Amino acid sequence: MGSGQPVPPLRSLAAALIVSLGFVLNVRALAAFGALAGHSGWIVFIITALLAALYGLTAAAYVRLPARGSEPESIALGLSPVCGEDPTPRVIVRLALVPLAARVGVFLFMGTSLLALAGYIFNEVFWRQFPNLGFSFLLLAVLAGFAALGEKPLRQLVAVSGMLAVLTLLIFFTAALGAPAGENASVDQLPAFSLSGLLLAATLLIGFEIGPLLAEPEPDVSARRSAYMLTVIAGAVLLAMFGAAALHVVDAGRLADTTVPHMLLARRALGSTGRMLMGGACILTTITALGGLLLAIRATSVPLFPASRRPFLAAMPMLLPCAAVAGLLGLGYAGKPVLEAYAAGAFGLWLAGYAVVNVAASNCVLRNSRIAHRAAAGIYLIMAAALVGGSDRPWVSLFVACVLLAAAVSFPRKR
């Protein structure tokens, strides 16, 4: 399900971990987790553990899929007992394209948001004279430039940025946990809990599979299981460290109220040094998350469509999404509330994709495991419906999810 030349297992495992953690720890996820910690206090760790168990089951589902070609082909083969035997592996069962559609949508809408946030952070933390939108376009141009050079240069960029981001965040979380407790830091009086607070958990740990899909070099079951499981565990542990540090330094009510709990923690825990560490890490995770998404889109889509011998055309699966995001930034969508509704639709589709993966895997295992995977599929569908229905514009979110899925399944594919 990955692409590229085989690499040593340890190096492959490290690459998988770095890419996935760069996505899981992006600035939007940190903001959501910090707000969730403010809404729920120490209960956030129970929520994190439950999510880790659910995503761990999905990690097992990816391992149990038949190892055949691209990710959609593997999912399709797993679905075949349900959808009927497919005479040719290239004729993809329609549901198998749900993850691809979701990743394209998340890149377009979350990518626009992440780039805008990166521009804001760079302006506020590092260089006030530099225009916010100018930095957003600069970062997008860097990603597009590396993508135009080919898959290998973009992989190298993602690996370096991800390694620096994860190390920076690990150092920061450790230092913040060792900082003196905040004067008003307490979970004795939590803000009134709301459904919107719980919905913040819906997108946490999404993207854990991106790194293993890219870095897994061989159909060795134990190596693949380690790659998928380790990304879930490491992501949950780092998020828990962030939540513990936030509740240690900042009072729960303030965490729930602010839109930038990660920057508030950084300033209160380590002052200007903390702000710079967190600001740099957020920019690095933006590069890693969006670069990893581009690589995942390419790895998933290229085997399905007619190949081109021209390198520039071969890079189109990565360059076209970049051009679309440039258009969204240029039209000012980064500051429009409707962008969040678009993103909710794309993330809802991603959760539906996890449901499809669990259903596909359930056909390849014994009865007890089959029940667990199908139960997980049901939970993901409930989470997807809650995320879409809980957005400010639920019908817009639903429409976006339907358009993304329709575009993926109707596009002409190689046969």
- Tens of pLDDT, residue by residue over 191-220, are 555 566 677 788 899 999 998 888 655 556
Closest CA to 299 of 69, 36, 30, 43: 69
Domain that holds residue 65: 9-77+87-180+192-410
User: Predicted confidence band at 4 (pLDDT cuts at 50, 70, 90)?
Assistant: very low
- Say how far apart CA 57 and CA 137 lie, in whole Å: 38
- Say how far apart CA 92 and CA 360 lie, in whole Å: 13
Task: Kindly state whether residue 415 falls inside one of the protein's structural domains.
Answer: no
Query: What pLDDT is stored for residue 190 in this prediction?
Result: 56
pLDDT beyond 80 at 222: no
Task: Kindly state whether residue 51 falls inside one of the protein's structural domains.
Answer: yes
- Say how far apart CA 261 and CA 29 lie, in whole Å: 11
Query: What pLDDT is stored for residue 80 in this prediction?
Result: 78
What's the pTM?
A: 0.90
Out of 66-75, 181-190, 214-223, 249-258, the most confident range is 249-258
Task: Kindly state whether residue 187 falls inside one of the protein's structural domains.
Answer: no
Task: Kindly state whether residue 186 falls inside one of the protein's structural domains.
Answer: no
State phi, psi for 83 to the nearest 5 degrees: -95, -5
Q: C-alpha distances in angstroms, 376 versus 4, 55, 58, 347, 381? A: 31, 9, 8, 17, 9
pLDDT beyond 80 at 232: yes
Task: Kindly state whether residue 72 falls inside one of the protein's structural domains.
Answer: yes
Task: Kindly state whether residue 369 falls inside one of the protein's structural domains.
Answer: yes
Q: For the domain that residue 293 is a member of, what is the CATH number?
A: 1.20.1740.10
Query: What pLDDT is stored for residue 283 in this prediction?
Result: 95
User: Predicted confidence band at 88 (pLDDT cuts at 50, 70, 90)?
Assistant: very low
Query: What pLDDT is stored for residue 144 in this prediction?
Result: 94
User: Predicted confidence band at 83 (pLDDT cuts at 50, 70, 90)?
Assistant: low
pLDDT beyond 90 at 356: yes
pLDDT beyond 90 at 345: yes
pLDDT beyond 70 at 76: yes
Query: How many domains does the chain contain in total?
Result: 1
Closest CA to 387 of 202, 134, 147, 170: 202
Query: What pLDDT is stored for residue 317 in this prediction?
Result: 83
Reported as a single tens digit per residue, the pLDDT across 364-379 is 887 778 899 999 999 9
Task: Kindly state whether residue 354 falls inside one of the protein's structural domains.
Answer: yes
Task: Kindly state whether residue 372 falls inside one of the protein's structural domains.
Answer: yes
User: Predicted confidence band at 84 (pLDDT cuts at 50, 70, 90)?
Assistant: low
